[in-house]
Amino acid sequence: MPLSSYLYTLPYRIFWHWIRYRNRLIPCVIYCAEPQDYTILEPVVCHLKKPCVYVAKNRRTAAYLHRKGIGVLRMPVFPEVVLMARHSTWKFPVPAIRKYGFRHGPYHFKTFTSVRNYRPFTLYFLTSPAEATEARKMGLDNVVPAGYPKLDPAFDGSWTEEKLQSFRKEKLNDSKKPIVLFSATWEKSGMSAVKRWYRRLKELTADYTVCVTLHPWVSRNVYLTIKNTPDVFLAGTDDLLPLMMLADCTISDTSSIIGEFIALDKRIITFRTGSAERKPHSLDAMLDKAGYRVDSFDDLKQTLRRYLTSEDPYTHNRRLLRDQLFCNLGTAGKQAAGKMNAEF
């Protein structure tokens, strides 16, 4: 908990109880720290039986929601219920507020944070029964396997083939070349491989439709270099799901987008990275099963050419991993909302 939160807690509690006394609490708040949070939580919100209000952490997220025609509040707000895809319960420091948490990436491609970050939640929704079992071994009894709501539109028919091809025509200039999606986690995590490829993407654009998605905390130098590389499509928040569905392969490091490609049964190539503080011991073994591993950009170029012109030897393993990482594909939001509606 940030030190400043201690100065925040007492006034917040006083105001919350006074507003409750006046019967003016907001029934349900959807707290969005980043635009991605909306894509995770909206498939849940549409099934809730409470009226909900979106709250943005910053101006960038507020602007994103405004562009969707969504009215937005800023902190502090005083709700009966809050949903979030972050460990930000300290911003709602009243035990009587019901707090529901979701992963902002599927499964745990980083180790679990301290159990103290999970215990304030009334329920914390995880992406699979296997993950919930691991969490319970840590002493967490408030976890529920629900799935990953962000992927619901990929499996529930929301993105039809016609819509996907329309997206391809509009965003990717109707390119018929194979689509490869590069992704990278934050450099300072110690698990990123972005420095191995961000200056060399132009070497691939003659043969592939090259697309990139980046962690929101990636350095400005990396962001601007990629943004200014000709013939490279830098995906926005709303581009990402249809782009993953269209992509022929993802190229990543330890980013949790790998989990989404496992769910979508797509080809995967990952750069090997060394040990890091929050890198799970089991992650490399999982990535070995998911797809090809490479050490350098030159390795990548050779592997990619071979991989996209041959049978995929990793399909069976990926489908086994999918059962480990996910449940309720296409209905995760409905499942989570059902749990919450039963408690309202």
CATH number for the domain including 61? 3.40.50.2000
The confidence score (pLDDT) of residue 216 equals: 85
Same domain, 295 and 321: yes
pLDDT digits (tens, 9 = 90+) for 126-156: 999 999 999 999 999 999 999 999 999 999 9
Same domain, 320 and 245: yes
**Six-digit token string for 32:** 């969005």
- Looking at the structure of the chain, the number of domains it has is 2
DSSP code of residue 46: T
Sheet holding 72-74, edge to edge: 72-74, 53-56, 26-32, 79-84, 98-102, 123-126, 143-145
Sheet holding 267-271, edge to edge: 232-234, 209-214, 179-184, 249-252, 267-271, 292-294
The confidence score (pLDDT) of residue 177 equals: 95
Report the distance separating Cα 21 and Cα 16, nearest Å: 9
**Six-digit token string for 178:** 């194979």
Same domain, 291 and 187: yes
The confidence score (pLDDT) of residue 110 equals: 66
- Work out the angle at residue 175's Cα, subtended by the Cα atoms of residues 174 and 181, and round it to the nearest 5 degrees: 115
Same domain, 173 and 138: no
Beta strand pairing call for 232-234 and 267-271: unpaired
The confidence score (pLDDT) of residue 181 equals: 98
The confidence score (pLDDT) of residue 175 equals: 78
The confidence score (pLDDT) of residue 191 equals: 82
Same domain, 127 and 14: yes
Same domain, 165 and 291: yes
Same domain, 242 and 287: yes
Same domain, 239 and 274: yes
**Six-digit token string for 342:** 């039963």
Same domain, 183 and 127: no
The confidence score (pLDDT) of residue 299 equals: 97
Same domain, 210 and 335: no
- Which has the closest alpha carbon to 125: 110, 106, 138, 139? 106
96, amino acid identity? A
- Which has the closest alpha carbon to 51: 25, 78, 29? 29
Same domain, 131 and 177: no
Give the structural domain span for 236. Answer: 153-325
Residue ranges, the chain, pLDDT below 70: 1-5, 107-111, 276-278
Same domain, 169 and 114: no
Classify the C-alpha dihedral 173-105-322-335 as positive or negative: negative
